[in-house]
Structures are given as structure tokens and as C-alpha cells.
Structure 1
Amino acid sequence: HMRVAEEARGRGKQICFDPGQELHYKWDSDTFTRMMELSDVLFLNHAELRRALKYTRMTKPRDLLEYVDTLVLTKGKRGSSIRTRDDRIDVPMVPAEVVEDTTGAGDAFRGGYYAGLHRGMSARDSLFLGAAVASFVVERQGPQTNIPTFDQAWERALASGAGGE
């Protein structure tokens, strides 16, 4: 991971770091801190946030902005947020029709978030889109059994408050 990030950084590319569950066994304080220094965006869920704060000896999520420009936090039923040095955006969870299996919800969220940014959407709407994609994925057993189209996900995101900036 580090070598790829260093090469991409050298080419002027944006680095989005999502340590995922590997944070608990692959990274240590030194390697995690170095990877954050190379990164622009850091994705964390609640458990990963606790470990990141421990590795960096910091106490608050916003403290991680000493390393990255953008912190994206996924908070399950409490929604998600983006923090930068100047701003904080919180969006609620996009409700699923039913929750069968949460496996892959975080990956689905990130995929939707990236799709929104790629389409030129605001950070807020990209959070909503990510949450909407995740809401579809949790409705079926298995992480790839209910992947929505863009239009399906965006319709659900709009129904939950996206697009109202």
C-alpha cells in the first residue's frame, strides 16, 4: 500500500486511504501515520477511528486533520460525516426497506461516495449517495446481491434529503 501511495503522490494523484479492518493487524503507529501523511482523504468507521486516535496519540477526530485534508466517518445508524479544517457536514442514515446483512455496507458506501464525486456532486450529496447505495446492499444476504443502479440510489438519496443544498 505504502509504495503505491508514494508513487501516486509523486504523480500528483489524490490519495484516499481506507485502512478498513486491516487497521487492526496490518498497520502500526508508524506505518499508519506515514500513510496518513501521504493521503488526502481518510475513511474510518467508529472502531477504526478509535484505533486511529490511539495510533496517533490524539483525542478528537478533528485532530486527524493534521495529517489529511478530509476525514470521512461512517457511523452506521447515525449516518456519516465529512470533516475538513473549515467545515463539517453530517448526513443521516438512508433507511433500507429491511436489513438482512450488513456485510459490504462500508464498501458500498465508499463506492457510492466516489461515484458522486466522480459525477461532480457536492460532498454532501456524495455522502447521501454513498448511504443510499449501502442501504440497498444491506437488504439482501451477501455484499453483492443487491447493488442498485445510479438512478435507483439517487432516487433513494433524494427521498432522504439529498439535493437540498
Structure 2
Amino acid sequence: MDRKRTAMTLWCLGSINLDRFYHVPHIPAPGETLAARRLTTGIGGKGANMAVAAARAGARVVLIGAVGSDGAWARDRLSEWGVDTRYVASVEGPTGHAVIVLAEDGENTIVIHAGANAMLSEAPLGAAFAEAAAGDWCLIQNETTLQSEGARRARAAGLSVAYAAAPFTAEAAMTMAPLCDLMILNRVEMEQLAAATGRGPAAQGVARVVVTEGADGAVLYAADAPQGVRVAALEVEAVDTTGAGDTFTGYLLAGLAAGLAASEAMTWAAKAGALMVTRHGTADAIPTIDEVARKFGGEGNLGG
């Protein structure tokens, strides 16, 4: 593969959660009570998931976030998985957590409590971006605080900013659009943003917009590709869709940080997301680049 530049660091401002998975026959209807067949736990949160995915794709990843007084184990586990956690603060209160109801067909419903993710101060941001180098990437999502401040500080330090617009609100996406170089959102979110702004994906004021469409793949929109460039999805038997979007995003940013063209980075991201849905779990289940290469082909190396 041709690289445009030497691989850079990915600075991820994001959430860290304790995930509790309740395995049920189907997603409960309103008012319905179901007995879970089993309970499993693990580390999740969009920030942690994306950071782990990028690290397993071979990127150097620094996570900026917060855990509660009960969260040292999460920080240690993330470090074991190759994520730099020096800028994960410890705050008073509980670590963020998610209750995930997982049906047999792989679909899920999730309830999140922000916990420490909503208590992040500006101090770790300042310290982290003082260390960052121009040309690095910063990845931000909506499960923590200080998104706009983080984007401004990252840009001031010469970083490119990617924004994963989830959990989605049109207001948050419109606030972040002028501050980011890349926006990633799914088809439903893009429809909601288009309804709020009256503009399609190529006209949101962002240099590049990636819209993920599940089994239909993903589409890249840019000024030179207003009609979109599609990357196909891979056919697999899904058992759990939790974390698939985060895996896609982490791999996409790892590829961009390694200097890949956006379409090539998206191809790797699609492969990783496809392999992820064949597994149960969140951060612990995210595949490595070697596993993706063995399953779907490729060099097994984004970094050159």
C-alpha cells in the first residue's frame, strides 16, 4: 500500500463504561418482563471501544477520559490492550455504565448512565494536546463532556478532528460540524441531520462525511464526491451488533492516521466491523488487524 505520510497518533476524547449484557430471547416490548438467560460484563463506552479498535488496528492511541473511584481496573485493562491511559482521570463518583439487552438475533437495546464520563475537567485536555503533534488525529464522540472544547484545542494544536456523532442529537452535530474535518454517522442519524439542516451529507460544512448503512456498507461524501463513494459491506452471520459501529470508526481512524486514503481505510473498517458482529462482547471482542486479515484478506498492517 502507498502511504501519504508517517503514521501519527490518534487522540481519543471519549467515554469509558462498565457494560452489563443481559442475554434474552428477544428485545422486550413496552411493559414486558423477560428473564435473562445469562449475564456477562466487560468494558465498553464509545470512547473506549473506538480507542481499543484503533489500537488493535495498529495505531498509537491515547485516550482522554475519566473513570470513577471504582474504575482503576478499567484503566488497567485498557492499558493491557495497548491504549495509552495517562490522560484518563479518576474522579469522585461511579464509573459510567451501560445496561445492554441482547436478543438471540443479535439486535440490542442499551441504557447508559454517564457517571464519570460527565465529570471530565479541562485539565487532561490541556495536558494531552500540549503533547500532541501537528498532523495527529483527534476523535470525539457524544458520550462525554467537552466535545467542542476538545475540538477547538485539537485544531489549535494542528490536529485533524473526527467526530462520531453518537449518541446522536442534531443540535450536537450542528455544533460540531464547523469544528471537524470528518463526521461519521449512520443512515438514520444522517436523515435526522438532513431534516434539521435542510442539507444533504455533502453540504454539512464538513470536508468529509461517512455514512454507515449496516448491511448496505458505508458511503463517503466529500466536495469532490458529492454523490458519494460506496464501500460494500461483507456478508457474515451476525450474533451481536454491539460495538460494530465503534469498531468501524476506530479502524477508519487508524487507517487515516497511518496515511491511507479514506476509501481504503473504510474498506479495512468494513472488514473489522463485519468480523465484530460475529462475536459477543464489546471492547474485549474487537478483532485485531491480523484477525481481520486472516478472515478477509489483506496485509494485516495499516502502518506500512
Q: TM-score range by the shorter chain?
A: 0.7 to 0.9
CA distance in 2, matches of 1:34, 1:19: 11
Matching of residue 44 in structure 1 with residue 185 in structure 2: yes
Residue in structure 1 matched with residue 282 of structure 2 by the alignment: 143
> Shift in Å at residue 52 of structure 1?
1.3
CA distance in 1, matches of 2:270, 2:296: 8
Percent of aligned pairs with the same amino acid:
27
Quote the RMSD (CA, aligned, Å). Answer: 1.9
Matched residue count: 150
**Which stretches in structure 2 are left out of the alignment for 5+ residues?**
1-146, 299-304
Which residue type is aligned with residue 185 of structure 2? L
Which residue type is aligned with residue 14 of structure 1? S
The secondary structure found in structure 2 opposite 1:81 is strand
Residue in structure 1 matched with residue 249 of structure 2 by the alignment: 110
CA distance in 2, matches of 1:115, 1:129: 10
Superposition pairs for residues 13-162 of structure 1, below 5 Å?
13-21=159-167, 23-24=168-169, 28=171, 31-58=172-199, 60-64=200-204, 67-87=205-225, 88-96=228-236, 98-158=237-297
Relative contact order, higher structure (CA 8 A, sep 6+): 2
CA distance in 2, matches of 1:157, 1:56: 38
The secondary structure found in structure 2 opposite 1:82 is strand
Residue in structure 1 matched with residue 94 of structure 2 by the alignment: none
Cα deviation, 1:52-84, whole Å, max 9, x if unaligned, reads 1123232x22222xx110011101000011111
Cα deviation, 1:133-156, whole Å, max 9, x if unaligned, reads 111111122223432221222344
CA distance in 1, matches of 2:279, 2:250: 18
Q: Is the 8 A contact 1:137 1:145 kept in 2?
A: no
The secondary structure found in structure 2 opposite 1:133 is helix
**Which stretches in structure 1 are left out of the alignment for 5+ residues?**
160-165
> Shift in Å at residue 12 of structure 1?
2.1
Cα deviation, 1:21-73, whole Å, max 9, x if unaligned, reads 2x23xx52xx5323100111010101110121123232x22222xx1100111
Cα deviation, 1:98-149, whole Å, max 9, x if unaligned, reads 2101011100001111122222222222111101111111112222343222
CA distance in 2, matches of 1:155, 1:120: 22
Higher alpha-carbon deviation: 111-120 or 122-131? 111-120
The secondary structure found in structure 2 opposite 1:42 is strand
The two structures have a TM-score, normalised by structure 2, of 0.46
> Shift in Å at residue 7 of structure 1?
1.4
Q: Is the 8 A contact 2:164 2:249 kept in 1?
A: no
CA distance in 2, matches of 1:16, 1:157: 26
Q: Is the 8 A contact 1:131 1:157 kept in 2?
A: no
Which residue type is aligned with residue 151 of structure 2? A
Q: Is the 8 A contact 1:42 1:68 kept in 2?
A: yes
Counterparts in 2 of 1:3 and 1:50: CA distance versus 1, 3 Å: same
The secondary structure found in structure 2 opposite 1:116 is helix
CA distance in 1, matches of 2:295, 2:234: 8
CA distance in 2, matches of 1:69, 1:143: 30
Counterparts in 2 of 1:35 and 1:141: CA distance versus 1, 3 Å: same
CA distance in 2, matches of 1:61, 1:143: 29
Larger Rg: 1 or 2? 2
The secondary structure found in structure 1 opposite 2:283 is coil
CA distance in 2, matches of 1:35, 1:76: 24
Between Structure 1 and Structure 2, the one with more strand by share is: 2
